[in-house]
Structure 1
Amino acid sequence: MRATSLTVGSAALAAALLLTACAGGGDGDGDDGGQDTSACVLDEVGVEVGPANAAPLAGDTGNIPVTVTNQGAECTLDGFPTVGLQADATSATVTEDEAAQAQKLTLAEGTAATFTITYVRGEAGAGGSLDATRVKIGLPGDSATRGFAWSYGPVALGAGGVPDASVGAFQQAGD
């Protein structure tokens, strides 16, 4: 009788350990629980630029939201997006917002993250402005970029000809 009790007890213990090993280790905050997940790549995401809160006049600040939606296998965004502005043969990199802190986000298929491009509008044709016509966007860990029309007016230039603009960190979109 005691051997039967011990066998049932061992089976119950083994089942409990197995269930514990199968339980999800994540805490639901976008962390992948230590598992390796590939970096999101532009070939497997949809990118939507806008609708924007464009700066109406020179000196005003505008905000352009960008949404990245995963259309493939689970992937991660770890770092800041890369953003560049183009005007004819001139291009300039938009710097990271110094006040923002990048966070690692895991995106399941069909989920999205957003970031914001903030800029100060310049005067069209002025020496202290970049008459941008395109914006190029890249993801951390992916060398590819995708270009989009820039219809938000010229961008003021700061010291050293750097655009008076910044790119924010990724934020989980939706719930």
Structure 2
Amino acid sequence: MRAIPLTVTALAAALLLTACDDGGGKKGDGAGSACEIGGVSVEIGSASVAPAAGDTGEIPVSLTNQSASCTLDHFPVVSLGTGETTATVPALKGAKAQQLKLAKGDSASFSISYVRGKDGDKTALAAKTVKITLPGSDTSRSFSWKYGPVAGKADGSGPDATVSAFQQVGD
């Protein structure tokens, strides 16, 4: 009759170990903890601004790790804000996220692509800010959006913009 208590103990241990993992592979995977905005500098680089309604623009975002080794695992979370509403920018369709480990001083980048909307158009998002959150973190940083209104998708599901996967910068 000792088999039942051992089975219950083994099951309880397995559940406790599972509870330690968030299921997203972001923490506790041996590759370091998730990168945090406070330990990583974030810079929005020179943008390829969409000059007129209907044109596509691209905004590069660079990250440099300023602290202990950390991991970027999935896509960045990017949202555009008007001051009254916020819209999340989806990942580029078909893009594959890769796990990147950043040692102190290592850099990575991603880009935000968007279609410029018409000023005053009801379907366009008159964005004033862009908020960036790294995967596995709750901390975010906001920047001014100086690139004009963002067109709405034809199906009305949000802004016509996408976020690319992280890419390692340098060697």
- TM range, normalised to the smaller chain? 0.7 to 0.9
- List alignment gaps of at least 5 residues for structure 2: 1-28
One-letter code aligned to 1:133? K
User: In 1, distance between residues paired with 2:106 and 2:55?
Assistant: 33
Partner residue, 1:43: 38
After TM superposition, the structure 1 = structure 2 runs for residues 20-169 of structure 1, keeping only pairs within 5 Å, are 35-158=30-153, 159-169=155-165
Percent identity between the two aligned chains: 54
Deviation at 1:161?
4.3
Using the size of structure 1 for normalisation, the TM-score is 0.79
SS in 2 for 1:43: helix
Give distance in 1, aligned partners of 2:159 and 2:88: 8
**TM-score of the superposed pair, with normalisation by structure 2:** 0.80
Deviations 1:108-131 (A, max 9, x none): 101110001000000111111011
Contact 2:31–2:71, Cα closer than 8 Å, also in 1: no
User: Structure 1 stretches (4+) deviating beyond 2 angstroms?
Assistant: none
Partner Cα separation in structure 1 for residue 83 and residue 117 of structure 2:
16
Q: Distance in 2 between matches of 1:156 and 1:35?
A: 41
Preserved CA contact (<8 Å) 2:123 2:156: no
User: Cα RMSD between the aligned structures?
Assistant: 1.1
